Chains A and B, each alone.
Chain A
Amino acid sequence: MSETPISTDRRAFLKAGSLVAAPLAMAAPAAALAADDGSRAKLARLEDERAIEALQRKFVRHLNGAGDCSEFIAPSGSVELGEGLRAIAEDLRHEPSFALSEDGLTATARCACRVEREIAWTGDTTIERMARFEGLGRHRHQERAVLAMDFVKAREGWQIAHVRLVSGAAAT
């Protein structure tokens, strides 16, 4: 695991340039889809779901490796992962949920996870000063959270429109 906190500010994710990493289910002409018995549409949705799952996993994998995740984020996307994030691990006791919109152009995913953060107490409150004095100026802790992601299907493929970690009671 990296010893430096993962950069979670939006700028770090939004480096200009590359975008899509997920396999793209090529948008088929609507007329063609309508002409068959529906199996092509089902196949397309299945491929979309798999692409989104893969994108989510890749995003988490890059995040944990302190990799550049900007390639997964839509140009207008936003990232809210909170302070001092060090690692995210999917909580396998919970089934992740995916929802693909009717038109197949947006999707959402929620995934229970365990988050590790490290906070540095750098302020001038007495309690922070005393914590530093005790040699306890940094604190690493785990918390449960839900990784909530919104996806959008662009011409280049699926991208993350919005990702945030929902902590505490709001996560349940």
Chain B
Amino acid sequence: MALEAYPSVPLFRYPYTQLTEAQIQAKLAPAAEAGPTSRSPLERDLAGTTLRIVTDGAGTLTWQFGEGNRVTFDGATGGYGALTLDHVTLITHVVPSSTRAWAIAWDRHNNLATVFELWWGGGPAPHTREINRAVWHGYVQGGDGDPPAERHAPTVRMEGRAYAWTEDTGLRTIEYYCSYTYTHWVELDRLKDNRGYSAPADYIQLTEDLYLFARVEAEFSGLLHMYLVDSNRLQSAGVRLGFNGADELEYYMFRGTAEWLGQNARFEKLGDFSAEPIPIENAKKGERRIYRPVATMDKMTPEEVNAVVAENTHVFDRPSPMAGNGTPPSGALATRSFAVEYDGGPRMEYRFVSADQLQWRKDGRGDWRQAKYNAWEVMPGAFIFGHLLQGEPNHDCHIVVADLDAGLATNFHGFLNTPYFANEAGAETLFGKIVGQGIPDPGNRRHQRTRDLLGRAFTWEYAPGLNSMHLYSTPNTTSWIIPNAETGHFGTEWSGTGDFVKIRDQLYFARWCEEACNGTLGTLLLNMRTMHDAGIGYHCGKNGLSLSAVGAPARHAGKFDVDRFFGPDAWRTRP
């Protein structure tokens, strides 16, 4: 595959080069000498200044700024860049002949400072191209007064916000800050697939309205994207540092302006503003919890999938942790018979012989096959049911929402043997009509894709201690965020392909695919009138193939106004 700076495939599919430290140092050398570029004028008023920053944890660090953009740090002189947002200056430079760099946020009013120590190689990141960071808080030494007791600090105050940024580069990014340790961003220009991605982030509060934000695009390019945020003026000043998909160094500073997109609810206990991440025992410098799902997921061949399916298939036969607060299955389909005719898809005939057994036949061919199913009537007359299609080569499942009052059905057709990992579920969305006694003929009407969920976030309380939040961040992305059940802090976040169908007013059928991340196809039928869902998970791993229940009460965390950023075909995805 030819290298692409901003890949045309999903980032989780792109084979990023494993750069070596030597390659990185060589690529950094010109930037260490010249400093960052910038469309906006960089500042030069630091000439003649010596900045001695006393940090909590990294000692006293000294930068001497010379004429032009020269800075000397630790005996090495190179180029730096600086931009000031209101009264906070962001300074950055790469240390010559090294794989190290620094970024400093200096509050010129109170002399508090936060220093990001940056490096490639040597860990804790497992990929050398992924930038490491350690965050040091402190103050600029000067004068005879007592050193300040205050410090900048991690914050939850940005959690729940979202902005649409436009940089002076012209590049536009939606950034959803749904967590206190992660972020979710959508590149609107450099990436073409309208997808959102999730990455670890730092949120540092500088003043009541100024923040320092930094994401590391871990598991992807490994780039650092850092900026000061003025939340009242909706402005930023930042730096981007690292290697894109073409292994080109990006090192530039920027100014940006934002549109405020909304504010979702936070779920920490009222009065709890704590923001220290859950500690890691014996943590290395800069170590934090970075979710690396492709490393931990089962990765199986088609032969291994066939073997495990033959030996270990579970269909609604054991308790599901994702349905501890679910509603019981419905037996109301028992004894009913109907067919679903999918546009461009199969004609599925069904005989529901009991509350959990059905018979199906595809396209009128062959014998009827028996399958276990579960169904939930989420709104009167509107059911979600799912079953495996035993004998199909890709171990397919049909997860169907059937509106018997409207004669309409939609199927999230799941299958295995996708090109990347055979046990990873793929999905397609099929629209159709139901043909059966007493069921109205909808004619050409079909369920439709919807943007009613776009920009919304819901929490899901699956079982005591097992909760998540969904953010439907783009027309083809579902993101999920995991909270600390004790404190309500939302932390690790990830995302995958989503699709969203309106069944009725306030009744939506949604799915997410955990690509390169455990491989599950998750589905849910959300009733916003009862604020509860019922859904089905389809998963294959070394422990077998399973269809299992999903169900939880929901809370509506909020809605961001993002519809205008996505074109009419933005739901389309590439694999």
Q: Digitize B476-513: 1 where CB-to-A-CB distance is under 8 Å, 0 elsewhere.
A: 00001010110000011010000000000000000000
* A136 and B541 form a contact (CB under 8 A): no
Q: When the two chains form the complex, which single residue of A129, A133, A139, A143 contacts B485, counting CB atoms closer than 8 Å?
A: A139
A residues less than 8 Å from B291 (CB atoms): 130, 133
Expressed in whole angstroms, the Cα–Cα distance for A126 and B465 within the complex equals: 14
With A129-B296, A134-B278, A136-B485 as contacts: A124 and B492 at CB distance below 8 Å: no
Q: Which of B286-333 contact A (CB under 8 A)?
A: 289, 291, 293, 296, 298, 321-322
* A119 and B464 form a contact (CB under 8 A): yes
Q: Which of A85-144 contact B (CB under 8 A)?
A: 117, 119, 121, 123-131, 133-136, 139-141, 143
* A121 and B465 form a contact (CB under 8 A): yes
With A130-B492, A134-B482 as contacts: A119 and B462 at CB distance below 8 Å: no
Q: Is B158 an interface residue (CB 8 A)?
A: no
Number of interface residues of B (CB under 8 A): 30
Q: When the two chains form the complex, which single residue of A119, A121, A124, A130 contacts B543, counting CB atoms closer than 8 Å?
A: A124
A residues less than 8 Å from B539 (CB atoms): 124-125
Q: When the two chains form the complex, which single residue of B278, B280, B517 contacts A126, counting CB atoms closer than 8 Å?
A: B517
Q: When the two chains form the complex, which single residue of A124, A128, A135, A143 contacts B466, counting CB atoms closer than 8 Å?
A: A128
CB distance from A106 to the nearest CB of B (A): 30
Expressed in whole angstroms, the Cα–Cα distance for A127 and B289 within the complex equals: 15
Q: Which residues of A contact B (CB under 8 A)?
A: 117, 119, 121, 123-131, 133-136, 139-141, 143
Q: Is B537 an interface residue (CB 8 A)?
A: yes
* B278 and A127 form a contact (CB under 8 A): no
CB distance from A123 to the nearest CB of B (A): 6
Q: When the two chains form the complex, which single residue of A119, A125, A134 contacts B492, counting CB atoms closer than 8 Å?
A: A134
B residues less than 8 Å from A117 (CB atoms): 464
Query: B537: nearest residue on chain A (CB-CB)?
Result: A125
State the 9 A-B residue pairs at the shortest beta-carbon distance, nearest first: A139-B465, A141-B464, A126-B518, A130-B482, A135-B278, A130-B492, A134-B491, A139-B485, A134-B492
Number of interchain pairs (Cβ within 8 Å): 72
With A125-B539, A127-B321 as contacts: A119 and B463 at CB distance below 8 Å: yes
A residues less than 8 Å from B491 (CB atoms): 134
Expressed in whole angstroms, the Cα–Cα distance for A113 and B166 within the complex equals: 57
Expressed in whole angstroms, the Cα–Cα distance for A130 and B464 within the complex equals: 15
Q: Which residues of B contact A (CB under 8 A)?
A: 278, 280, 289, 291, 293, 296, 298, 321-322, 462-466, 468, 480, 482, 484-485, 491-492, 494, 514, 517-518, 520, 537, 539, 541, 543
Expressed in whole angstroms, the Cα–Cα distance for A127 and B518 within the complex equals: 10
With A133-B291, A134-B484, A134-B491 as contacts: A127 and B466 at CB distance below 8 Å: yes
Expressed in whole angstroms, the Cα–Cα distance for A129 and B293 within the complex equals: 9
B residues less than 8 Å from A134 (CB atoms): 278, 289, 482, 484, 491-492
A residues less than 8 Å from B462 (CB atoms): 127
Q: When the two chains form the complex, which single residue of A123, A124, A130, A141 contacts B494, counting CB atoms closer than 8 Å?
A: A130
26 contacts between A and B (CB under 8 A): A119-B465, A124-B541, A125-B321, A125-B520, A126-B480, A126-B494, A126-B517, A126-B520, A127-B322, A127-B466, A127-B482, A129-B293, A129-B296, A130-B291, A130-B482, A130-B492, A130-B494, A134-B491, A135-B278, A135-B280, A135-B289, A136-B465, A136-B482, A136-B484, A140-B465, A141-B485
* B520 and A133 form a contact (CB under 8 A): no
Query: B548: nearest residue on chain A (CB-CB)?
Result: A125
Query: Which among B278, B289, B482 has the highest number of chain A CB atoms within 10 Å?
Result: B482
Known: A133-B289, A139-B466. 18 other contacts (CB 8 A): A119-B466, A124-B543, A125-B321, A125-B322, A126-B480, A126-B514, A126-B518, A127-B480, A127-B482, A128-B466, A129-B296, A130-B291, A130-B494, A131-B465, A133-B291, A135-B278, A135-B280, A139-B464
Expressed in whole angstroms, the Cα–Cα distance for A139 and B483 within the complex equals: 12
Query: A141: nearest residue on chain B (CB-CB)?
Result: B464
Expressed in whole angstroms, the Cα–Cα distance for A43 and B364 within the complex equals: 75
With A129-B296, A134-B278 as contacts: A123 and B321 at CB distance below 8 Å: yes
A residues less than 8 Å from B298 (CB atoms): 124
Expressed in whole angstroms, the Cα–Cα distance for A117 and B463 within the complex equals: 12
With A133-B291, A134-B289, A136-B485 as contacts: A127 and B468 at CB distance below 8 Å: yes
Expressed in whole angstroms, the Cα–Cα distance for A16 and B293 within the complex equals: 48
CB distance from A116 to the nearest CB of B (A): 11
